[in-house]
Amino acid sequence: MSLLARNTLIALGITVVLVGTVAYAVNYLNQQRVVELSAIEDQLSIDTLSLDTQFSLLETAPCDTASSTDLTGELTDLGNRLSYAESQLGSANAEVIRLKEQYSLLEIRDYLITKQLAAACGTKPVTVLYFYSNAGDCADCAKAGYALSYLRDAYPQLRVYSFDYNLNLGALKTLITVEKLRDALPAFIINGKHYYGFTSLADLEKNFPKGALATTTATSSRP
């Protein structure tokens, strides 16, 4: 066998080995990714059922024991896991959309319970409904999300609910209609008052009731 032929065979063999190794590695990583995401989805389903049950119990609780503060913290954790799943699968993934719909329903329910407690028990929560878009039509949504994340961490009692404006969910569309929200994103409803657009954290803070951020501590559900 000539030197050229031998070198060609050696090169071919190395190429086959490299391609096989890469294919095996990619397949292994994909399998691990599926397993990890499956675990996330299972946990999200369990958390969703748990939160929904807690909401039902909370609705029947007296004012001296009714508080959804702990639930809001759990919603935050649930939102963080959903954000991770979305980063792995993409916002257009059917499973991510389904989980986001479930999460949005829980947020709406928590928001309604918070309003009921305020009316029945005289509490004065500070609530923020935040509407964003992942469709590439909201240049400032990412910055607004970061700002709200900061407020959430700085003021854990502030109730921040984040919604994908384009999500095809009947309850969300009804919420948008009831709140008379304009199609101008990012949009904020802070204690019933509407604000549109985002410039800076300082300007956003000015939209909160006087003293609210000094006496409140933000929890959020996900930007």
Query: What CATH number has the domain bearing residue 150?
Result: 3.40.30.10
Give the number of other CB atoms < 10 A from CB of residue 47: 19
Mean pLDDT calculated for residue range 78-88: 77
Query: What's the pLDDT at 79?
Result: 78
pLDDT digits (tens, 9 = 90+) for 143-156: 999 999 899 888 87
Query: Would you state the structure tokens that stand for residue 197, as one six-digit string?
Result: 């657009």
- If residue 217 lies in a helix (H) or strand (E), which one and from where to where? none
Report the percentage of the chain scoring pLDDT > 70: 70
- 10: which residues sit within 8 A by CB, 6+ positions away? none
* Statement: residue 118 has pLDDT above 60: yes
Domain hosting residue 180, numbered range: 3-220
What's residue 64's pLDDT?
65
pLDDT in tens, 9-29: 676 777 766 766 666 555 555
β pairing state of 187-190 and 193-196: antiparallel
Q: Sign of dihedral through CA atoms 167, 47, 43, 188?
A: positive
Q: In terms of Cα–Cα distance, which of 152, 3, 166, 171 is closest to 79? A: 152
DSSP secondary structure code for residue 90 in this structure: -
| Distance between CA atoms of residues 111 and 89, nearest Å | 28
The average pLDDT across 38-51 equals: 68
What is the Cα 115 distance to its own chain's centre?
21
Cα separation, 128 vs 107, whole angstroms: 11
Q: pLDDT tens for residues 180-215?
A: 999 999 999 999 999 999 999 999 999 998 877 875
Q: How many domains does the chain have?
A: 1
Residue 202: its pLDDT value, please? 93
Residues 6+ apart with CB under 8 A from 111: 127, 129, 159, 161
What's the pTM value of the predicted model, to 2 decimals? Answer: 0.73
What are phi and psi for residue 41, nearest 5 degrees? -65, -40
Average pLDDT over the chain reads 79
- Residue 180 neighbours by CB distance under 10 Å: 8
Here the tokens at position 157 are: 């009692």
Q: Residues 41-67: what's their mean pLDDT?
A: 69
**SS3 of 140, please?**
coil
The kind and range of the H/E element at 128 are strand 127-132
Q: Residue 218 has what pLDDT?
A: 47
Task: For residue 121, give every residue at least 6 positions away whose Cβ sits within 8 Å of its Cβ, in sequence order, or none.
Answer: 63, 66
What are the helix (H) ranges across the chain?
3-59, 69-89, 94-121, 141-154, 170-178, 201-206, 212-215
Query: Sorting pLDDT into bands at 50, 70 and 90, what band is 122?
Result: confident
pLDDT of residue 220: 47
What pLDDT is recorded for position 196?
97
Using CA atoms in the order 54, 55, 57, 58, what is the torsion angle rounded to 10 degrees? 110
The pLDDT score that the predictor gives to residue 85 is 77
